[in-house]
Structure 1
């Protein structure tokens, strides 16, 4: 097992974005078995089936990695998600090609406490669900191969078992009071790695550029892994520019030490700069040459200059850049934390296509895949440790926080995208311990701030929402939720100016509000009339509750997509008029699961995302595009609004979100004129029309122009003029079937059979027979218990080539059924 050692250097910090590159590495994705409970001991994982034991218990299931223990139960509306031990086991063919080489298991992340076994020998333990770590299994494998059972019982394979445990533990971060699930499992990739007996454990490459002289510098250090204490070696490198040209190369002999060895200081005249528009990277290729075998690797680096101006904006490479950001949780429908590389790539590309240039990774170190994509897509990063809520624990708690900060900085140091190391989130939120001592929290925050700067002098530190620590870190983000938890969204600019005046460097992360996908409103701002404005716009204890307390949109609003697009629209148009603003980050990009919100319209979901948990875009996505992107786009509000309502002859507003200079709208084939875009003409930047819909079906089309480019969009909907009373009955029908998947919809009608378009009743789907509900997805279309959106709800059913009966129940109404086959 590799020992974890914290190195603190007072001069230049130490730093890596990649843990281990090797010519011999493979992801261990397949041939795993999983058990969602604890074992009596490791013997139960490896004992042979047969030999008088044909019915060995417990029963394991086949899975592939990455895998999350809580793939579905995190959003099960009828139970708490599982927090406890779980086991994984496999059998590996291990054949190290290097003479006296080392065999390593490289975990990219597993939650939250992990034990690793080779046969019955425990070879490693790790605490922390988000940093990378490695286990040297060489000696344990060699010992096992000498036993008789290696060939007789396991046919030349090596049994490896992994126990993960996400049980509640007050002496661990993050706190279980956090507004996200503390997942269990091997939910990031696990690699089998072969290295020679001398290899590079971490390579630290610090790239700098002077904006005046245009001189670039790269300082390179290495930390070696050499359990056999090999003394001397040679090392060579090549620095390759973004066009593939070698700009510098050399070879030198070195004496291997147990500390970090400085290898090179490289100067580059006028290096190509990395920026959010042109994220150009250099490649540092290196080869360690020794009698034990050669070890090759490479690091991507980028030359850029960053500055948060005191009492001012953010500069990248000497020019102001307004940070246009969002947030990411590691969470997805059907898999929870176990997102594949393909899923992560899709998510990050969707963010970039929305127009972001900045992201805060909440609230923990995230996958190397995410950071690599931020580098290549041009997305600046605030990455933080999971000291989140609950207060401050004891020595073990503090040691874990410092260890995770050290690992985060060292493992991700080389990434040009990272500009901030986050030290905590909502640390003013007590609850895990009897004592809540602000001075002790301040003292520990200072220790983390000092440690971060010792590890990395080139980046800023930051926290969000802990006012009594705001003076400790370099950059501070207060809590401003104008129009959601406090005040109206029109309070946003004044609230931001007030908070800006209190701190040295201001950056506003976390703003927005919840929206129940596919719920729309003809009068979304109605609840604002109840709200006290002009005061504080922060979030306070209890504000997230749907019950009690002062009037607030989070409790009294309609949770419609219509309202949240108005809120976002206002914020974005105001941000264009705040020259002192460094930037903001909307919370979050995607809906995510949380144990503290069981009563939300989709239970156990934080629904503040601009896309749903399965990447389905909400209307808000296009509002951001209209402000933040350059490629011509146009979007008519209401693609998921099948029925609008009002009086006959009443004009209704149609909103167009576009970055084009002008747009023309047509209703049922008739033009209602063109309008020019003006970002300060709220709402929809002036691209809004009041149109006289006709009863029944209507078609609205828009044609927008940006220079010579033309884009268009179209929606169809029903306009209902009949007035309804309260819901009195349910109508359930199948509305679609694709191969073996049927889609069913329930609608709420009054006594006269008129659709109740503002009904928000709780709806519960059920199924019996051969099929299975596609539920526990955490989406509006993927939950068996869900609040209605405009008097309806939809779910899909996997028919399994058989027959089933689906049911829908609503309190106070007669349950209805439908047969599916």
Structure 2
């Protein structure tokens, strides 16, 4: 470690906000870190030579990884770090040069989840809340012209009753609260007469577009002035808007007289002629708002300059979201602030890549969940026109243990974090909503990770109302919103109407029923609350890269286990989006989630401690099929994408090929032979049905014809020779069971019936897996299709052997009787599985010769008493 590096930023770049007015120095290099709580670490003489050298932003946590066979991401079981507790940071740095009377402030963009700060052994203060900016006046603690030491004690301990973090939100959630100084740290030098830096981490300048008319716009600017000069200060505040060409579009000046050690607010109204409005992604035009503080001698002593967009937002229960009085259909994603490569300590480049991926999908809005995100993503959203939903970390839980009311300290922390959220992001035109709560309406049906519900369930309404009133008072120009999990459930508290608008997190096709259920659910909610603006704030499904399905309707997904095929996730989105698009009264829709993210309450898909609902992998490198479905629907950029590219070893010799395309015409070729073209595919999904694959390598090429030229996508599938002409179907299974002596495909080629299993799955509990007698492959036998149903298997002409596997799931002999017919010929008459096997949960097989004269083997299952069932079907050529 060099002396320069240990001094932490002697060579750091400085930025000047105004001539001789304000200087900011980023403190990134030279930090020392230790995990633990050594005594005396705040004192200057403490020996930190053995501590780990780190660069800020930094977090000591690494959460989540994919199984090695996936081949994605840098994390492994060995790199995971889940420590929650105390960590210390220390930095030696030279005191910045400053004139007499100048003030020096220490600024932290975030420290999770509580922090205490000392400079040269002098305690500056503490901050509770892991997501917002905070500052301390370090002037008197610094030694001018000498080396100084800042020491920071950070604690991200889990908030349990009696702990230091017990009253610091979030108390829980489906994400892991990392620790550390995971956003930048700065020194800021100002003159003693300056714009206030101690207003909840805000800029001290707050601008609002108060009106927009045909030829003018009114912008109100409020500036908080602080006088630390030691005498009465006289001067003026000059506020101006500068357009993109550098011309002053509007300017106003107000004089002030400010007593010693006082803070006052100065207000000015700017009239902007022919305003160029901020219009979202269509035209994200930004002015530059510059506020100068001029002292009595005419010198500019402080300056704050920020991008500013002239715009107004509102929501209407019938028309949805309005930007500058015009309807804007919001469609986008939820987003957490982690990436597998750097976890929470994301660099500006990391955030820019994340943001670019979301833009490339065609989203025009982001819900920044479930806490305040940093400055960088807000700035990018301003620049590119994506509308933001900001929210505080009031997530799921707001009391500890059996308490039915939150503590006074917790209420205060919620109010503090809301004030910080609003102040710090007030001037961003991209921010349209203040979110005050997420999923606080579970009632007794709480998530398993919260444990058994107490006898009396806490009522969230009083806390939500308090925060709603605070947000409306602090910023009446933006609507308040909340995300509800459980509206419509009889046991859930009715919280619709507590905020100006309500959104719901509803996972049809995952936690609830079929994807088609989302439409009637939303219609019912609207009928019950016709005057409340409504939105869908979360929807989606898990998608694991290494699990694949031949038919996403073939069986239920494993919502808490491994079988979460990528194709099922894409199918859920295909089914859901048209239902949302056709309900324009929704003020927005946000799918869950843009990226897979770390969450230690999960063990699912092909990952550990990762929520798999992202459309892009945790490390940002692989875009799942569903990503391209939305790109084809949301973006004007030419898109052609063949689905199933990771399902390379195919189970069936005949399959449908799906292509997401927004081309006017799309053509598919197999091994160079055209399979024809399709025009203006509905829902941007082009389907070629019954495509026959050859043994060996099958090259599929989809080509879209656009006005700008052709665009093609190419993938390869392999069909083993043992699969050519063979159909082995795991009935009732979304993902086929592994068989040691043959490859089965998941349930496909069926019509009617329902998919079931003898196994019992429950989220948060181990599955119940009863023994099945007489089987060589228990998992294959465990799933089944039930009811009245048929299979139509495209074998091609020839002679085949049909083998059927049956397991009676629960009934006794004589309780279930059905017929089985093939190509119109009855093969089994009055079949009783339990009678044939001697009881339930015992495998029975039956085989028959069949001739497919028209190239199809049809198998009909016709109930006589109860439902027909079948667990597996094989149709093999007779040699």
Which band: TM-score by shorter chain?
Answer: 0.7 to 0.9
* Secondary structure of the structure 2 residue equivalent to 1:294: strand
1:611 to 594, 600, 616: 616
CA, structure 1 residues 327+98, in 2 after alignment: closer, same or farther (shift >3 Å)?
A: farther
* Secondary structure of the structure 1 residue equivalent to 2:559: helix
**Is the counterpart of residue 379 in structure 1 residue 386 in structure 2?**
yes
Q: Spell out, residue by residue over 1:117-166, the C-alpha distance to the aligned partner (whole angstroms, 9 max, x if none).
A: 11322222111001110011111113xx6xxxx9xxxxx41111111000
Q: Spell out, residue by residue over 1:51-86, the C-alpha distance to the aligned partner (whole angstroms, 9 max, x if none).
A: xxxxx7xx4111111001213589775888111000
1:645 to 645, 651, 657: 651
1:147-166 superposed matches below 5 A? 156-166=146-156
Q: Distance in 1 between matches of 2:302 and 2:106?
A: 17
8 Å Cα contact 2:254-2:266 kept in structure 1: no
Aligned residue number for residue 13 of structure 1? none
Aligned residue number for residue 175 of structure 2? 180
CA, structure 1 residues 98+438, in 2 after alignment: closer, same or farther (shift >3 Å)?
A: farther
- TM-score, normalising length from structure 1? 0.77
Q: Distance in 2 between matches of 1:679 and 1:586?
A: 21
1:494 to 486, 507, 520: 520
8 Å Cα contact 1:205-1:218 kept in structure 2: no
8 Å Cα contact 2:562-2:605 kept in structure 1: no
**Is the counterpart of residue 205 in structure 1 residue 213 in structure 2?**
no
**Is the counterpart of residue 679 in structure 1 residue 707 in structure 2?**
no
CA, structure 1 residues 229+438, in 2 after alignment: closer, same or farther (shift >3 Å)?
A: farther
Q: Distance in 2 between matches of 1:515 and 1:71?
A: 22
1:576-725 superposed matches below 5 A? 576-616=581-621, 617-647=623-653, 650=654, 652-680=655-683, 685-722=685-722
* Secondary structure of the structure 1 residue equivalent to 2:574: helix
8 Å Cα contact 1:46-1:159 kept in structure 2: no
Q: Spell out, residue by residue over 1:204-257, the C-alpha distance to the aligned partner (whole angstroms, 9 max, x if none).
A: 333326465453111111112333455222332331123332212344432236
**Is the counterpart of residue 268 in structure 1 residue 272 in structure 2?**
yes
Q: Distance in 1 between matches of 2:96 and 2:170?
A: 41
Aligned residue number for residue 280 of structure 1? 285
Displacement after TM superposition at 1:41 (Å): 2.6
Q: Spell out, residue by residue over 1:651-673, the C-alpha distance to the aligned partner (whole angstroms, 9 max, x if none).
A: x1111111111101111011111
Aligned residue number for residue 29 of structure 1? 28
1:428 to 441, 448, 454: 441
CA, structure 1 residues 204+29, in 2 after alignment: closer, same or farther (shift >3 Å)?
A: same
8 Å Cα contact 2:64-2:609 kept in structure 1: no
Aligned residue number for residue 236 of structure 2? 234
Displacement after TM superposition at 1:688 (Å): 3.8
Q: Distance in 1 between matches of 2:278 and 2:500?
A: 23
1:105-124 superposed matches below 5 A? 105-124=106-125
Structure 1: 5+ residue stretches without partners: 1-17, 50-55, 151-155, 529-551, 727-747, 759-821
Displacement after TM superposition at 1:599 (Å): 5.0
Q: Whose relative contact order is higher, 1 or 2, with alpha carbons under 8 Å and at least 6 apart?
A: 1
8 Å Cα contact 2:218-2:269 kept in structure 1: yes
8 Å Cα contact 1:327-1:586 kept in structure 2: yes
CA, structure 1 residues 691+244, in 2 after alignment: closer, same or farther (shift >3 Å)?
A: farther
- TM-score, normalising length from structure 2? 0.72
Aligned residue number for residue 245 of structure 1? 247
Aligned residue number for residue 93 of structure 1? 94
Q: Distance in 1 between matches of 2:44 and 2:345?
A: 23
Displacement after TM superposition at 1:405 (Å): 0.5
* Secondary structure of the structure 1 residue equivalent to 2:498: coil
Q: Spell out, residue by residue over 1:513-546, the C-alpha distance to the aligned partner (whole angstroms, 9 max, x if none).
A: 1111243221222115xxxxxxxxxxxxxxxxxx
8 Å Cα contact 1:188-1:338 kept in structure 2: yes
CA, structure 1 residues 260+718, in 2 after alignment: closer, same or farther (shift >3 Å)?
A: farther
Displacement after TM superposition at 1:557 (Å): 8.7
Q: Distance in 1 between matches of 2:212 and 2:721?
A: 64
Q: Distance in 2 between matches of 1:122 and 1:598?
A: 42
CA, structure 1 residues 209+654, in 2 after alignment: closer, same or farther (shift >3 Å)?
A: farther
**Is the counterpart of residue 338 in structure 1 residue 345 in structure 2?**
yes
Aligned residue number for residue 867 of structure 2? none
CA, structure 1 residues 599+694, in 2 after alignment: closer, same or farther (shift >3 Å)?
A: closer
Which 4+ stretches in 1 moved above 6 angstroms?
A: 73-76, 432-439, 754-758
Q: Distance in 2 between matches of 1:45 and 1:433?
A: 47
Aligned residue number for residue 519 of structure 1? 547
Q: Distance in 2 between matches of 1:555 and 1:224?
A: 54
Which deviates the most, 343-352 or 71-80?
71-80
Q: Distance in 2 between matches of 1:105 and 1:218?
A: 31
* Secondary structure of the structure 2 residue equivalent to 1:644: coil
Which deviates the most, 712-721 or 695-704?
712-721
CA, structure 1 residues 211+494, in 2 after alignment: closer, same or farther (shift >3 Å)?
A: farther
8 Å Cα contact 1:384-1:422 kept in structure 2: yes
Aligned residue number for residue 157 of structure 2? 167
1:332-481 superposed matches below 5 A? 332-392=339-399, 393-429=406-442, 431=450, 441-465=460-484, 467=487, 468-481=494-507
Q: Distance in 1 between matches of 2:338 and 2:224?
A: 33
2:327 to 292, 295, 320: 320
Displacement after TM superposition at 1:481 (Å): 0.9
Aligned residue number for residue 310 of structure 1? 317
* Secondary structure of the structure 2 residue equivalent to 1:390: coil
Q: Distance in 1 between matches of 2:234 and 2:110?
A: 33
CA, structure 1 residues 749+628, in 2 after alignment: closer, same or farther (shift >3 Å)?
A: closer
CA, structure 1 residues 99+411, in 2 after alignment: closer, same or farther (shift >3 Å)?
A: same
* Secondary structure of the structure 2 residue equivalent to 1:423: strand
Displacement after TM superposition at 1:451 (Å): 0.6
Structure 2: 5+ residue stretches without partners: 1-14, 66-74, 161-165, 197-202, 400-405, 488-493, 729-736, 747-879
Equivalent pairs, count: 672
8 Å Cα contact 2:43-2:121 kept in structure 1: no
8 Å Cα contact 2:648-2:717 kept in structure 1: yes
Which deviates the most, 235-244 or 624-633?
235-244
Q: Distance in 2 between matches of 1:488 and 1:694?
A: 34
* Secondary structure of the structure 2 residue equivalent to 1:491: helix
1:522-601 superposed matches below 5 A? 522-528=550-556, 554-555=559-560, 558-601=563-606
Displacement after TM superposition at 1:269 (Å): 2.8
Displacement after TM superposition at 1:500 (Å): 2.3
Displacement after TM superposition at 1:581 (Å): 2.6
Which deviates the most, 427-436 or 308-317?
427-436
Q: Distance in 2 between matches of 1:111 and 1:697?
A: 52
Q: Distance in 2 between matches of 1:43 and 1:315?
A: 52
Displacement after TM superposition at 1:705 (Å): 1.6
Q: Distance in 1 between matches of 2:122 and 2:705?
A: 68
Q: Distance in 1 between matches of 2:594 and 2:313?
A: 25
* Secondary structure of the structure 1 residue equivalent to 2:112: coil
8 Å Cα contact 1:311-1:506 kept in structure 2: no
Which deviates the most, 339-348 or 92-101?
92-101
Alpha carbon RMSD of aligned pairs, Å? 3.0
